Amino acid sequence: MTKQHAWLLIFLAFLFQAKGQTSNYKIGVARTDITIFKKGAGMLGYSMSFNVSEGIATRLYARSFVLEDAMKHKVAIVECELAFVPSELKQAIVVELQKNNATKDITEENFILMAQHTHSGPAGFCHYAAYNMSVPGFIPEIFDHLTQQISNSIIEANANMRPCRIKLNKGFFPDDWEVAFNRSLAAYNRNPDVVKQTFENRHKAVNREMTLLHFVGEQDFPIGSINWFGVHATSLSNDNKLINADNKGYASLFLEDYYSSINANYVGAFAQGTAGDVTPKFVYNPNRNWQRGYWEGKFSDDVESAKYNGDLQYKKAKEIIENKEQKEVRKGLIHCALRYYDFSKIKIDTMYSHTTDIKTTGPSCIGMTMLGGALMDGPAASPFVVTVGKFWIKMIRKMEMARTLLIEDERSDRIKLKYRVQGVKPIALETGEKRLLGTADVKNHVLPAFADPTIAAFKHFDREGALREHSWSPQILPIQLVQIGDVVLVALPFEITTTAGRRLKKGLENLYAQSGENVQELILCPYSNSYSGYMTTFEEYQEQLYEGGHTVFGEYSLAALQTVFKDLFLTRHIPFLLDEQKVVPPVFSKEELGKRSF
């Protein structure tokens, strides 16, 4: 054998070994108790002053999955039983992970932090003012507890890695399974790309598909699973006072209990899908009071309704797992990409806005219809406040537009941009510009504090000087793509509606197809890494129901989201830490948070 032949054989052996190495994944899983509340403090989700924590009905968990490919590339995927997860919480968790030698390779970029959106979990762990007004205030011990416990969960998962295969499958809920219903049918039916549905058929105006990844060891030993299905975790109503993981929490417990005889450490996460306009409630009960809302689930007892809905999700997940025709995720590498974008000033790609002129977003604004609540999942501000607010807003708009005709300056330019971007929205809160019902002088607003507890909280914190340092809701938000073999997880910080989610997914599928990449499945992961309201289609936005009122960056918000995902797709091979042009979110001072504490 010549020397050249010997080197060739060594080279081929190396290639074969490398190929063999990429044929297997490893996974570690953990389920960690993150339950905490402060007695008398508000829960997060309904934004009602009377929706406060008084005790515990079920424990809350973080379910962690740390995946590793043959080249030691990792991704940590964590699903938390919380309403949503602020980016400041994720960043604090990363700081903790960096203190541990075993998890130093887990950064913001290769870590997805998801929430399953229970409305019966703790509040007070968000840094931005708008999300603390019903608590009211920031609660440092809750933020610190969640940081530590979620970090511990990832560290534990990382410590028990074992070889695995990843199976992918889907299942559809039959029409007669009472699991999910469109709560904003008038907005849904505005979309030209849907089959119009009647109120009786509103269960067909949702995505009834569950997508599931199952992680198995040798001889198909069950290790854990994550599934995605869109339905609000609002089976429990806003008069509930006990911590509860709601329908998805029960579903997880049912699945984990089912597998406990085989694997006591099985971890089953039920993550959210395109739930923006989807409710578990479908029974009208006129005997309930208006403030709580007249709609409920299968039973008058909300806990029984949550268990019923969770049981349906559990049964579907179990059915998918036990389906003999499982697909397998291609054996390959893990690649993660993340960028922050300032959503208050996105220049929108015309291929997504479908206009010849360039559209933009603007600073975040919340509409009066959002403050009025989602009627099927629970009203919010009283009819009196909503009526007076809408009248006041019309007057403000007329006065502000009159100003732009008389004075040309920077303020007038911002006013024009605001109304151009927000369109038909009756703007109540300018969370980006820090204005309430037309004024930055919140403490002296003519609307009295007794009119609504949220108004009272805003006035109080403004008097304390706690509303001046940062915008009241995040403008700079993370967007993330995580590729595991031939599956891509698409992480976004919004509550996205059924049709908006379908359009976003289709656009990304086209980008991957055009690039020649063989991707088997794209999975949308809403409520991930941060939070800034809803994401509707342009058409749904025009209806200005609850979801449109909470689509904060304007009527072309979905086109903006598609634009930034296209940008991330094109730059996904540039590591976040090496991107010199990267945008990062602001840092909050202890002084500001101290002034806004509960």
Residue 7 confidence (pLDDT) above 60: no
What is the mean predicted confidence (pLDDT) over 176-181?
A: 98
Residue-wise pLDDT for 81-124, tens only, equals 999 999 999 999 999 999 999 999 999 999 999 999 999 999 99
Q: pTM for the complete prediction?
A: 0.94
The model's confidence at residue 21, banded by pLDDT at 50, 70 and 90, is: very low
- For the residues 298-312, what does the mean pLDDT come to? 98
Share of the chain above pLDDT 70, in %: 96
pLDDT at 163: 97
What is the C-alpha separation between 63 and 31, in angstroms, rounded? 5
Average pLDDT over residues 299-306: 97
45 contacts: CB under 8 Å, gap ≥ 6: 51, 83, 117, 118, 119, 120, 121, 234
Residues 356-380 pLDDT 10s: 999 999 999 999 999 889 989 988 8
- Quick one: how far is CA 404 from the chain centroid? 37
Which pLDDT score is estimated for 384? 79
Mean pLDDT in residue range 212-241: 97
The pLDDT value given to residue 192: 98
pLDDT digits 0-9 by tens, 521-568: 999 999 999 999 999 999 999 999 999 999 999 999 999 999 999 999
Residue 326 has pLDDT above 90, yes or no: no
Q: Could you tell me whether strands 278-279 and 181-182 are parallel, antiparallel, or unpaired per DSSP bridges?
A: antiparallel
Looking at residue 578, what is its pLDDT?
78
**pLDDT digit string, tens, across residues 382-438:** 777 788 888 889 999 999 999 999 998 999 999 999 999 999 999 999 999 999 989
What's the confidence (pLDDT) of residue 16? 38
Closest CA to 572 of 523, 505, 512, 516: 512
CA distance linking residue 462 with residue 494, whole number of Å: 27
pLDDT score of 376: 92
Q: What is the pLDDT of residue 3?
A: 41
The mean of the pLDDT values for the chain is 93
pLDDT of 20 strictly over 50: no
- pLDDT of 9 strictly over 50: no
Distances (CA, A) of 239 to 41, 118, 128, 243, 382: 14, 14, 25, 12, 15
